[in-house]
Amino acid sequence: MNSMTIQTAPTCDRPETLDDVALKAHIRGLIDRWGDKLVILAHHYQRKEIVPFGNFIGDSYYLSKMAAQQEKAEHIVFCGVHFMAESARILCRPEQRVYLPNLRAGCPMADMADDAQVDDAWEWLGQHIDTKKIIPVSYMNSAASLKAFCGANGGIICTSSNAEKAFQWAFARGEKVFFFPDEHLGTNTANRLGIPRDERVLFDPMHPPTDPRPFIKARVILWKGFCHVHTNFTVGHIEQARQNYPGIKIVVHPECKEDVVDRADAVGSTAFIAKYVAAQPAGSIIAIGTEINLTSRLADEYPDKTIFELSGQNCPLCVNMFRTTLGDLAECIENLGHKNEIQVPPAIARDARLALERMLELS
Protein backbone atom coordinates (compact mmCIF):
# COMPACT_ATOMS: atom_id res chain seq x y z
CA MET A 1 0.00 0.00 0.00
CA ASN A 2 1.43 3.40 -0.85
CA SER A 3 1.21 6.42 1.44
CA MET A 4 -1.71 7.96 -0.48
CA THR A 5 -4.04 5.01 0.02
CA ILE A 6 -4.49 4.93 3.75
CA GLN A 7 -6.57 2.03 4.94
CA THR A 8 -9.67 3.01 6.91
CA ALA A 9 -11.70 0.97 9.39
CA PRO A 10 -14.39 -1.41 8.15
CA THR A 11 -17.83 -1.26 9.73
CA CYS A 12 -17.70 -2.80 13.21
CA ASP A 13 -20.61 -4.37 15.11
CA ARG A 14 -19.65 -4.12 18.76
CA PRO A 15 -22.37 -5.06 21.26
CA GLU A 16 -23.15 -2.01 23.40
CA THR A 17 -23.19 -3.98 26.62
CA LEU A 18 -19.56 -5.10 26.94
CA ASP A 19 -18.16 -4.82 30.46
CA ASP A 20 -14.69 -3.33 31.00
CA VAL A 21 -12.88 -6.67 30.78
CA ALA A 22 -14.55 -7.52 27.49
CA LEU A 23 -14.10 -3.98 26.21
CA LYS A 24 -10.37 -4.09 26.94
CA ALA A 25 -10.10 -7.43 25.09
CA HIS A 26 -12.07 -5.93 22.20
CA ILE A 27 -9.72 -2.91 22.02
CA ARG A 28 -6.67 -5.17 22.19
CA GLY A 29 -8.08 -7.21 19.31
CA LEU A 30 -8.63 -4.07 17.23
CA ILE A 31 -5.09 -2.87 17.95
CA ASP A 32 -3.63 -6.24 17.01
CA ARG A 33 -5.52 -6.20 13.73
CA TRP A 34 -4.06 -2.81 12.77
CA GLY A 35 -0.53 -3.87 13.72
CA ASP A 36 2.13 -1.24 13.08
CA LYS A 37 -0.28 0.87 10.99
CA LEU A 38 -1.72 2.18 14.26
CA VAL A 39 0.13 3.99 17.05
CA ILE A 40 -1.47 5.06 20.32
CA LEU A 41 0.03 7.90 22.34
CA ALA A 42 -1.14 8.16 25.97
CA HIS A 43 -0.49 11.08 28.29
CA HIS A 44 0.43 10.39 31.93
CA TYR A 45 -2.85 11.98 33.12
CA GLN A 46 -5.08 9.54 31.26
CA ARG A 47 -7.30 7.12 33.16
CA LYS A 48 -5.53 4.05 34.50
CA GLU A 49 -7.42 1.75 32.17
CA ILE A 50 -6.43 3.78 29.09
CA VAL A 51 -2.69 4.13 29.76
CA PRO A 52 -1.71 0.46 29.10
CA PHE A 53 -2.97 0.80 25.52
CA GLY A 54 -0.35 3.44 24.77
CA ASN A 55 2.52 2.38 22.51
CA PHE A 56 4.14 5.44 24.02
CA ILE A 57 3.27 6.86 27.44
CA GLY A 58 4.66 10.18 28.60
CA ASP A 59 4.46 13.94 28.87
CA SER A 60 3.52 16.24 26.03
CA TYR A 61 7.18 16.80 25.05
CA TYR A 62 7.97 13.09 24.73
CA LEU A 63 4.71 12.33 22.95
CA SER A 64 5.22 15.15 20.44
CA LYS A 65 8.67 13.71 19.66
CA MET A 66 7.15 10.25 19.22
CA ALA A 67 4.45 11.63 16.92
CA ALA A 68 7.16 13.16 14.73
CA GLN A 69 9.12 9.89 14.56
CA GLN A 70 6.44 7.42 13.48
CA GLU A 71 7.49 5.93 10.15
CA LYS A 72 5.05 3.10 9.61
CA ALA A 73 1.89 4.32 11.32
CA GLU A 74 -0.98 5.44 9.12
CA HIS A 75 -3.19 6.30 12.08
CA ILE A 76 -2.09 8.02 15.31
CA VAL A 77 -4.58 8.04 18.17
CA PHE A 78 -3.72 10.59 20.86
CA CYS A 79 -5.23 9.81 24.26
CA GLY A 80 -4.84 13.26 25.76
CA VAL A 81 -6.37 16.68 25.16
CA HIS A 82 -6.98 18.69 22.01
CA PHE A 83 -3.78 20.76 21.83
CA MET A 84 -1.70 17.58 22.10
CA ALA A 85 -3.45 15.90 19.18
CA GLU A 86 -3.12 19.14 17.19
CA SER A 87 0.63 19.19 17.84
CA ALA A 88 0.90 15.56 16.74
CA ARG A 89 -1.07 16.44 13.59
CA ILE A 90 1.36 19.27 12.84
CA LEU A 91 4.48 17.19 13.44
CA CYS A 92 3.58 13.98 11.64
CA ARG A 93 3.61 13.43 7.86
CA PRO A 94 0.71 14.91 5.84
CA GLU A 95 -0.67 11.51 4.80
CA GLN A 96 -0.76 10.23 8.39
CA ARG A 97 -4.05 10.75 10.22
CA VAL A 98 -4.38 11.86 13.85
CA TYR A 99 -7.36 11.29 16.13
CA LEU A 100 -8.57 12.42 19.54
CA PRO A 101 -10.87 9.74 21.01
CA ASN A 102 -13.01 12.30 22.84
CA LEU A 103 -13.34 15.55 20.94
CA ARG A 104 -14.59 17.40 24.03
CA ALA A 105 -11.23 16.89 25.81
CA GLY A 106 -9.79 20.40 25.81
CA CYS A 107 -7.51 22.31 28.18
CA PRO A 108 -9.00 25.26 30.07
CA MET A 109 -5.53 26.78 30.47
CA ALA A 110 -4.92 26.68 26.72
CA ASP A 111 -8.27 28.44 26.26
CA MET A 112 -7.06 31.34 28.44
CA ALA A 113 -5.20 32.79 25.46
CA ASP A 114 -7.00 33.16 22.15
CA ASP A 115 -5.86 34.59 18.81
CA ALA A 116 -7.60 37.92 19.19
CA GLN A 117 -6.24 38.49 22.71
CA VAL A 118 -2.67 37.64 21.72
CA ASP A 119 -2.89 39.75 18.54
CA ASP A 120 -4.22 42.70 20.57
CA ALA A 121 -1.46 42.29 23.17
CA TRP A 122 1.19 42.12 20.44
CA GLU A 123 -0.20 45.22 18.76
CA TRP A 124 -0.26 47.14 22.06
CA LEU A 125 3.28 46.05 22.89
CA GLY A 126 4.31 47.13 19.40
CA GLN A 127 3.06 50.64 20.08
CA HIS A 128 5.65 50.98 22.85
CA ILE A 129 8.42 48.44 22.14
CA ASP A 130 10.09 47.26 18.94
CA THR A 131 8.53 43.79 18.67
CA LYS A 132 11.67 42.54 16.87
CA LYS A 133 13.22 42.63 20.34
CA ILE A 134 10.41 40.46 21.79
CA ILE A 135 10.52 36.70 21.29
CA PRO A 136 7.15 34.99 21.76
CA VAL A 137 7.32 31.69 23.63
CA SER A 138 4.16 29.64 23.86
CA TYR A 139 3.59 26.76 26.21
CA MET A 140 2.64 23.57 24.40
CA ASN A 141 -0.77 24.04 26.06
CA SER A 142 -2.00 26.44 23.41
CA ALA A 143 -4.00 26.38 20.20
CA ALA A 144 -2.22 25.58 16.92
CA SER A 145 -2.93 29.15 15.76
CA LEU A 146 -0.91 30.55 18.68
CA LYS A 147 1.92 28.14 17.96
CA ALA A 148 1.76 29.52 14.41
CA PHE A 149 1.94 33.06 15.84
CA CYS A 150 5.20 32.06 17.53
CA GLY A 151 6.56 30.45 14.38
CA ALA A 152 5.75 33.53 12.29
CA ASN A 153 7.27 35.93 14.82
CA GLY A 154 10.60 34.23 15.41
CA GLY A 155 9.39 32.40 18.51
CA ILE A 156 9.35 28.91 19.93
CA ILE A 157 7.16 26.43 21.82
CA CYS A 158 8.11 24.89 25.14
CA THR A 159 6.79 22.24 27.48
CA SER A 160 7.37 21.95 31.22
CA SER A 161 10.38 19.73 30.34
CA ASN A 162 12.27 22.40 28.44
CA ALA A 163 10.93 25.84 29.44
CA GLU A 164 14.32 27.01 30.74
CA LYS A 165 16.05 26.04 27.51
CA ALA A 166 13.32 27.74 25.49
CA PHE A 167 13.71 30.97 27.49
CA GLN A 168 17.50 30.83 26.99
CA TRP A 169 16.96 30.22 23.28
CA ALA A 170 14.71 33.29 23.19
CA PHE A 171 17.13 35.50 25.12
CA ALA A 172 19.86 34.56 22.65
CA ARG A 173 17.68 36.11 19.93
CA GLY A 174 15.95 39.02 21.61
CA GLU A 175 15.78 41.21 24.68
CA LYS A 176 12.39 40.17 26.01
CA VAL A 177 10.35 36.98 26.28
CA PHE A 178 6.57 37.15 25.82
CA PHE A 179 5.34 33.92 27.41
CA PHE A 180 1.77 32.60 27.32
CA PRO A 181 -0.56 31.24 28.58
CA ASP A 182 0.70 29.91 31.97
CA GLU A 183 1.75 32.63 34.39
CA HIS A 184 3.05 30.07 36.88
CA LEU A 185 5.28 28.05 34.57
CA GLY A 186 6.63 31.39 33.33
CA THR A 187 7.25 32.66 36.87
CA ASN A 188 8.91 29.43 38.00
CA THR A 189 11.09 29.39 34.88
CA ALA A 190 12.14 33.02 35.41
CA ASN A 191 13.02 32.13 39.02
CA ARG A 192 15.19 29.23 37.91
CA LEU A 193 16.98 31.50 35.47
CA GLY A 194 17.55 34.12 38.18
CA ILE A 195 15.60 36.85 36.42
CA PRO A 196 14.81 39.52 39.03
CA ARG A 197 11.19 40.21 39.94
CA ASP A 198 11.35 43.80 38.80
CA GLU A 199 12.24 42.57 35.30
CA ARG A 200 8.94 40.68 34.94
CA VAL A 201 5.47 41.97 34.28
CA LEU A 202 2.05 40.37 33.98
CA PHE A 203 -0.23 40.95 31.00
CA ASP A 204 -3.86 40.41 31.98
CA PRO A 205 -5.92 39.95 28.80
CA MET A 206 -9.14 40.58 30.75
CA HIS A 207 -7.81 43.94 31.95
CA PRO A 208 -5.32 45.08 29.31
CA PRO A 209 -2.69 47.45 30.68
CA THR A 210 -2.59 51.17 29.99
CA ASP A 211 0.84 52.01 31.43
CA PRO A 212 3.62 50.76 29.12
CA ARG A 213 6.50 51.60 31.46
CA PRO A 214 6.66 48.22 33.30
CA PHE A 215 6.57 46.47 29.92
CA ILE A 216 9.37 48.64 28.52
CA LYS A 217 11.49 47.73 31.55
CA ALA A 218 10.60 44.02 31.77
CA ARG A 219 12.63 41.16 30.29
CA VAL A 220 9.81 38.66 30.81
CA ILE A 221 6.18 39.43 29.93
CA LEU A 222 3.89 36.82 31.45
CA TRP A 223 0.30 36.05 30.56
CA LYS A 224 -2.36 35.77 33.24
CA GLY A 225 -3.40 32.16 32.71
CA PHE A 226 -3.29 29.10 34.95
CA CYS A 227 -4.08 25.42 35.33
CA HIS A 228 -6.96 24.95 37.73
CA VAL A 229 -5.63 21.52 38.72
CA HIS A 230 -2.13 22.61 39.72
CA THR A 231 -3.00 25.96 41.31
CA ASN A 232 -5.08 24.08 43.87
CA PHE A 233 -1.94 22.94 45.70
CA THR A 234 -0.99 25.28 48.56
CA VAL A 235 1.82 25.95 50.99
CA GLY A 236 -0.60 24.74 53.71
CA HIS A 237 -0.69 21.32 52.02
CA ILE A 238 3.10 21.17 52.07
CA GLU A 239 3.31 22.22 55.73
CA GLN A 240 0.67 19.67 56.70
CA ALA A 241 2.45 16.88 54.84
CA ARG A 242 5.82 17.72 56.43
CA GLN A 243 4.20 17.86 59.86
CA ASN A 244 2.41 14.52 59.41
CA TYR A 245 5.33 12.72 57.77
CA PRO A 246 8.78 13.96 58.87
CA GLY A 247 11.29 13.10 56.16
CA ILE A 248 8.66 13.14 53.43
CA LYS A 249 9.73 14.06 49.89
CA ILE A 250 7.51 16.49 48.03
CA VAL A 251 7.64 16.73 44.24
CA VAL A 252 5.42 19.11 42.28
CA HIS A 253 4.74 20.22 38.71
CA PRO A 254 5.92 23.69 37.59
CA GLU A 255 2.33 24.73 36.79
CA CYS A 256 1.94 25.01 40.58
CA LYS A 257 2.19 28.44 42.17
CA GLU A 258 5.61 29.86 42.92
CA ASP A 259 5.34 29.53 46.73
CA VAL A 260 4.47 25.84 46.41
CA VAL A 261 7.32 25.21 43.97
CA ASP A 262 9.75 27.06 46.25
CA ARG A 263 8.90 24.83 49.22
CA ALA A 264 8.91 21.50 47.38
CA ASP A 265 11.92 19.18 47.34
CA ALA A 266 11.78 18.81 43.59
CA VAL A 267 9.89 20.27 40.64
CA GLY A 268 9.47 19.04 37.10
CA SER A 269 7.31 17.74 34.30
CA THR A 270 5.25 14.58 34.60
CA ALA A 271 8.17 12.62 33.12
CA PHE A 272 10.46 14.14 35.74
CA ILE A 273 8.00 13.28 38.52
CA ALA A 274 7.81 9.65 37.38
CA LYS A 275 11.64 9.42 37.32
CA TYR A 276 11.93 11.16 40.70
CA VAL A 277 9.55 8.67 42.32
CA ALA A 278 11.38 5.73 40.72
CA ALA A 279 14.70 7.01 42.11
CA GLN A 280 13.56 7.21 45.75
CA PRO A 281 14.55 4.21 47.90
CA ALA A 282 12.06 1.62 49.14
CA GLY A 283 10.25 2.85 52.24
CA SER A 284 10.18 6.49 51.05
CA ILE A 285 7.15 8.61 51.68
CA ILE A 286 6.39 10.87 48.72
CA ALA A 287 3.66 13.46 48.21
CA ILE A 288 3.03 14.53 44.63
CA GLY A 289 1.59 17.82 43.45
CA THR A 290 0.13 16.95 40.09
CA GLU A 291 -2.91 15.37 38.46
CA ILE A 292 -4.38 12.47 40.44
CA ASN A 293 -4.25 9.82 37.72
CA LEU A 294 -0.45 9.94 37.51
CA THR A 295 -0.09 9.95 41.30
CA SER A 296 -2.39 7.03 41.75
CA ARG A 297 -0.69 5.05 38.96
CA LEU A 298 2.72 5.65 40.55
CA ALA A 299 1.32 4.53 43.92
CA ASP A 300 0.25 1.24 42.27
CA GLU A 301 3.57 0.87 40.48
CA TYR A 302 5.69 1.26 43.64
CA PRO A 303 3.98 -0.62 46.47
CA ASP A 304 7.27 -0.50 48.43
CA LYS A 305 6.89 3.32 48.75
CA THR A 306 4.12 5.37 50.33
CA ILE A 307 2.90 7.69 47.59
CA PHE A 308 -0.05 10.06 47.82
CA GLU A 309 -1.30 13.28 46.40
CA LEU A 310 -0.23 16.43 48.16
CA SER A 311 -3.55 18.13 48.75
CA GLY A 312 -5.08 15.47 50.99
CA GLN A 313 -8.85 15.52 50.64
CA ASN A 314 -9.05 17.55 47.43
CA CYS A 315 -8.96 15.47 44.30
CA PRO A 316 -6.69 17.17 41.72
CA LEU A 317 -8.47 15.70 38.73
CA CYS A 318 -8.21 17.09 35.22
CA VAL A 319 -11.74 16.42 34.03
CA ASN A 320 -10.68 16.91 30.44
CA MET A 321 -7.99 14.25 30.61
CA PHE A 322 -10.56 12.06 32.37
CA ARG A 323 -13.09 12.39 29.56
CA THR A 324 -11.48 9.70 27.43
CA THR A 325 -13.06 6.37 28.32
CA LEU A 326 -12.49 2.84 27.12
CA GLY A 327 -15.67 3.22 25.08
CA ASP A 328 -14.26 6.35 23.40
CA LEU A 329 -11.02 4.59 22.56
CA ALA A 330 -12.84 1.56 21.18
CA GLU A 331 -15.14 3.72 19.06
CA CYS A 332 -12.24 5.78 17.79
CA ILE A 333 -10.28 2.73 16.62
CA GLU A 334 -13.40 1.11 15.18
CA ASN A 335 -13.90 4.22 13.04
CA LEU A 336 -10.34 5.11 11.97
CA GLY A 337 -10.54 7.23 8.87
CA HIS A 338 -14.15 8.17 9.51
CA LYS A 339 -14.47 9.94 12.89
CA ASN A 340 -12.59 11.98 15.50
CA GLU A 341 -9.86 13.12 13.13
CA ILE A 342 -7.93 16.28 14.03
CA GLN A 343 -7.21 18.73 11.21
CA VAL A 344 -5.08 21.88 11.20
CA PRO A 345 -5.30 24.34 8.26
CA PRO A 346 -2.09 24.15 6.16
CA ALA A 347 -0.96 27.77 6.69
CA ILE A 348 -1.33 27.43 10.46
CA ALA A 349 0.35 24.03 10.43
CA ARG A 350 3.34 25.41 8.47
CA ASP A 351 4.11 28.22 10.94
CA ALA A 352 3.26 26.15 14.02
CA ARG A 353 5.57 23.40 12.79
CA LEU A 354 8.40 25.92 12.58
CA ALA A 355 7.96 26.82 16.25
CA LEU A 356 7.56 23.18 17.31
CA GLU A 357 10.64 22.09 15.38
CA ARG A 358 12.66 24.84 17.08
CA MET A 359 11.58 23.27 20.35
CA LEU A 360 12.49 19.74 19.23
CA GLU A 361 15.94 21.00 18.23
CA LEU A 362 16.58 22.34 21.74
CA SER A 363 17.84 19.07 23.14
Instruction: Establish if 229 lies at the interface with ligand SF4 (CB under 6 A).
Output: yes
With contacts defined by CB under 6 A, name the span among 92-100, 106-114, 233-241, 330-338 that binds ligand SF4. Answer: 106-114
In what order do the strands lie in the sheet containing 97-99?
56-58, 38-43, 75-79, 97-99
Question: Among residues 81 and 354, whose Cβ is nearest to ligand SF4?
Answer: 81
User: By C-beta, is 96 or 117 nearer to ligand SF4?
Assistant: 117
309 scored as a contact of ligand SF4 (CB under 6 A): no
320 makes contact with ligand SF4 (CB under 6 A): yes
Interaction of residue 113 with ligand SF4, rule CB under 6 A: no
- Span from 22-30, 105-113, 158-166, 232-240 in contact with ligand SF4 (CB under 6 A): 105-113
- Shorter beta-carbon distance to ligand SF4: residue 108 or 209: 108
Binding mask 181-200 for ligand SF4 (x = CB under 6 A): --------------------
Under rule CB under 6 A, residue 160 binds ligand SF4: no
> Which range of residues in 103-111, 264-272, 323-331, 334-342 is near ligand SF4 by CB under 6 A?
103-111
Q: Which of residues 239-278 bind ligand SF4 (CB under 6 A)?
A: none
- Asked if residues 344 and 321 have their Cβ atoms less than 8 Å apart, the reply is no
Q: Which lies closer to ligand SF4 via its Cβ, residue 34 or residue 62?
A: 62
User: Would you say 9 or 150 has its CB closer to ligand SF4?
Assistant: 150
* Contacts made by residues 279-288, CB under 8 angstroms, sequence distance 24+: 280/249, 280/305, 284/249, 285/245, 285/247, 285/248, 285/249, 286/248, 286/249, 286/250, 286/251, 287/237, 287/238, 287/241, 287/245, 287/248, 287/249, 287/250, 287/251, 288/250, 288/251, 288/252
Q: Scan residues 37-96 and list those touching ligand SF4 (CB under 6 A).
A: 45, 81
Q: How many residues bind ligand SF4 (CB under 6 A)?
A: 12
By CB under 6 A, name the one of 59, 291, 309, 334 that touches ligand SF4: 291
Q: Which helix (H) or strand (E) holds 23?
A: helix 20-34
Min dist. Cβ of residue 137 to ligand SF4 (A) = 16
Whole-angstrom distance, CA of residue 99 vs CA of residue 340 = 5
Which residue number, 141 or 269, has a Cβ lying nearer to ligand SF4? 141
287 binds ligand SF4 (CB under 6 A): no
Beta carbon of residue 49, minimum distance to ligand SF4 (angstroms, whole number): 18
DSSP string for 139-199: ESSS-HHHHHHHHHTT-EEE-TTTHHHHHHHHHTT-SEEEEES-HHHHHHHHHHTT--GGG
- Asked if 109 is part of the footprint of ligand SF4 (rule: CB under 6 A), the reply reads yes
Q: What is the H or E stretch that residue 321 is in?
A: helix 319-322
Is the CB of 96 or the CB of 141 nearer to ligand SF4?
141
Binding of ligand SF4 by 158 (CB under 6 A): no
* Sign of the torsion formed by the C-alpha atoms of 162, 168, 172 and 174: positive
Q: Which of 156, 227, 326, 330 binds ligand SF4 (CB under 6 A)?
A: 227
Helix 346-360 × helix 82-91 angle, to 10°? 90
Please report how close the Cβ of residue 325 comes to ligand SF4 at its closest, in angstroms.
Answer: 16
3-state secondary structure of 96: coil
Helix then strand count (H, E) for the chain reads 15, 13
For residue 78, what are the β-bridge partners? 41
Q: Which residues bind ligand SF4 (CB under 6 A)?
A: 45, 81, 107-109, 141, 227, 229, 291, 318, 320-321
